[in-house]
Amino acid sequence: MRPSLLPFIQQRGLKISRAEGQYVWDQEGRRYLDFYMGYGAAFLGHRHPKIVEALKEQLSKFMTVTPAFETDVREKCLDLLGEILPVHLDMVYFLNSGSEANELALKIARKITGRKKILAFINSFHGRTLATLGVTWNPKYREGFDPFPYEATFTPYNNVEAVEKALNEEYAAVIVEPVQGEGGIIPSTPEFLKALERKCRECGALLIVDEVQTGFGRTGYIWAHQKAGIRPDIMVAGKAVGGGFPVSFVAVSGEVGENLKEGDHGSTYGGNPLALAAVSAAVEVLISENIPAQAMEKGSALSEALKTVLEENGKIFRGLRSEGLMIGMDMRSTPGPFIRLLQSKGLLAFKAGLTVLRFLPPYLITERDIVDAAEILRNAASEYEVRA
Ligand SMILES: Cc1ncc(COP(=O)(O)O)c(C=O)c1O
């Protein structure tokens, strides 16, 4: 019998037949402006020619070689990562998804400190495996899955005082997103990140920065935490780093890395040649196209355009938060019906938190796309108000 999918993901009622750049097409040939982009993974656009070319080239050589063997594709990837990683994070390990990489970061913190507690934040999201779920805040995702391997404490995001009170020598690590994505597009303040760094040093806890959604230029910095000038002990990257191909990595400082040994971790597909070819091509695009600068500029143009619609529709929208091309519009109601309306008008977006309409557009959006997105939003808002 033909199996059906487990019901974890609500279906969007749209069958995609083609995708290119910032657009996808349905079976009838209808085009959609995609600000959903595979939960942000396709930040370089769908099928970026450089990514496709690198994958094809690698496919013609070999695709199943484990990290036990040396390869040119790995050498090249490490050389290129050396160009964009914070200089003190000089050891990496490749995995396949954001959750897996966060899982390794948490394992490392346990191993290095011998401690069991983790400090995380209200509205955090770090993944769906047991350890990462244990440091993910949303009770809806956690329900029925405890006990978790870590004892997590959740304090309010951007609240230095709460961290000062909670963090002590029993904690292995603090894990933080520089901008909370799934939790509602909530940017951190530089003071908050700086205080985390200071307090971690004081207590001997490791600072883990989860850049799975924020990293690779999206917020206007290669890594979003760089805005605050902090030096995390561990950084976790995923989504955009493979240009849409599944790959993630953990980057650690030498002091952390030198305390780890053979056998501490492993993965059959982690660091497979296709993934590494994709990362190399993605880094080349990031550098040659100066993606952080583009994200900063286009992000502020798009936010401005959306703000105009927000101001005209105060009954629907409450506010807008953004950091580069990571944009959330806070709605006065649950965004599901509005997201469906946008989709029916040719714009793909998705939800964050309980009330936030989330846009994760690719860096290559044009002025025309920005005008079109605002127009679709405006039309949807006027129809929505009539219906509501
Ligand atoms: C900040 C953050 N961490 C971790 C994850 C989990 O990544 P993945 O879905 O690739 O396992 C996500 C996914 O949305 C994320 O936004």
Probe residue for ligand 1, chosen from 95, 239, 326 as the CB with the greatest number of ligand atoms within 8 Å: 239
**Angle of the 291-312 helix axis to the 367-387 helix axis, nearest 10:** 30
> What would the mean pLDDT of 42-63 be, rounded to a whole number?
98
Tell which wins on pLDDT, 22 or 150.
Answer: 22
Query: Please, are residues 124 and 154 in contact by the beta-carbon 8 Å criterion?
Result: yes
Query: Distance from CA of residue 46 to its chain's centroid?
Result: 16
Give the domain extent around 337. 16-47+291-387
The whole-number pLDDT of residue 99 equals 98
336-344 and 367-387 helices, crossing angle to 10°: 120
165 is catalytic: no
Q: What is the pLDDT of residues 276-296, one digit of tens each?
A: 999 999 999 999 999 999 999
Using 50, 70 and 90 to split pLDDT, how confident is the model at 44? very high
Average the pLDDT over 118-123 and give the result. Answer: 98
In-domain check, residue 124: yes
Residues 160 and 205: their CA atoms lie apart, in Å, by 16
Residue type, 219: T
Sheet-wide strand order for 234-237: 91-95, 248-252, 234-237, 206-210, 171-176, 117-121, 151-155
Q: Could you give the 3-state DSSP secondary structure of residue 57?
A: helix
Residue 104 pLDDT greater than 80, yes or no: yes
Residues near 370 by beta carbon (within 8 Å), at least 6 away in sequence: 298, 301, 302, 305
What is each CA distance from 358 to 205, 320, 329, 339, 352, in whole angstroms?
33, 10, 7, 9, 6
pLDDT at 200: 98
Residue located nearest, by CA, to atom 7 of ligand 1: 98
Q: Is 239 a catalytic residue?
A: yes
* CB of residue 97 inside a 6 A radius of ligand 1: yes
Q: How confident is the model at residue 387 (pLDDT cuts 50, 70, 90)?
A: low
| 146 and 219 within one domain | yes
In a domain, 2, yes or no: no
Catalytic residue status for 125: yes
Number of domains the chain is built from:
2
Residue 163's domain is classified under what CATH number? 3.40.640.10
CA of 1 to the centre of ligand 1 (A): 33
Q: What is the pTM of this model?
A: 0.98
* Domain identity same for 162 and 186: yes
Assess whether 138 and 246 both reside in one domain: yes
Instruction: Decide whether any atom of ligand 1 lies within 6 Å of the 213 Cβ.
Output: yes
